[in-house]
A and B are shown apart, each in its own frame.
Chain A
Amino acid sequence: KAGVTQTPRYLIKTRGQQVTLSCSPISGHRSVSWYQQTPGQGLQFLFEYFSETQRNKGNFPGRFSGRQFSNSRSEMNVSTLELGDSALYLCASSFYGSSYEQYFGPGTRLTVT
């Protein structure tokens, strides 16, 4: 099976702009989680989608949003970008079986200038 894919891999944006990141999960996986990784804060959970519904959300401002499509592909959007949003954004997919293990994509490196 193909792994989790994320596009784009690298992105440079200016403060105030908005950005959309995409994630395609492993075939058959219906759960997609998003994480923000920074040197200071480490890995922090953003939100999780399952069957097009957001089931869980981390402690991030409303500027961070997401959605999931019927084919389980997911997008996350960040509006009004701030310098502090510069990070590696990781998505992970899960079959949502009893094991709860998540498989990660390569990430999107977002730089806000």
Chain B
Amino acid sequence: AQTVTQSQPEMSVQEAETVTLSCTYDTSESDYYLFWYKQPPSRQMILVIRQEAYKQQNATENRFSVNFQKAAKSFSLKISDSQLGDAAMYFCAYIYGGSQGNLIFGKGTKLSVKP
């Protein structure tokens, strides 16, 4: 069974500091994609970053970057220069190639940013 695990229910970071959110997944597929989504309180789910499993290079989007360790099935998100607006629930998600719409999500990590 394909599963996504986020072991940190809550995290806290000081404004302007760096924080890393953890995610591990389990799959026997070779063609898959990994995502981090951000869901601010009472607001829309937003795609933060995407990683294709076949790419060795870690994805980066401005202050957001991932550490993709395929052999270890690990996909962590690093947020640099944290801002107050980064406070949200962060969900790690997985989908395999050929899957029809079924994103599998972790339980989420609630990130708080302290001024």
Contact = CB atoms under 8 A, between A and B. Distances in A.
A56 to B, nearest CB: 4
Contacts of B102: 33, 45, 48, 56, 58
Interface of B: 33, 35, 37, 43-47, 50, 52, 91, 95, 97, 99-108
Contacts of B105: 42-43
Interface residues of A, number: 27
Interface of A: 3, 31-33, 35, 42-43, 45, 47-50, 55-56, 58, 90, 92, 94, 99-107
Given A43-B91, A100-B95, A101-B47, A33 B103 contact: yes
21 contacts: A3-B44, A33-B101, A33-B103, A45-B101, A48-B102, A49-B101, A55-B100, A55-B101, A56-B100, A56-B102, A90-B45, A92-B101, A94-B101, A99-B50, A101-B33, A102-B47, A102-B101, A102-B103, A103-B47, A104-B37, A104-B45
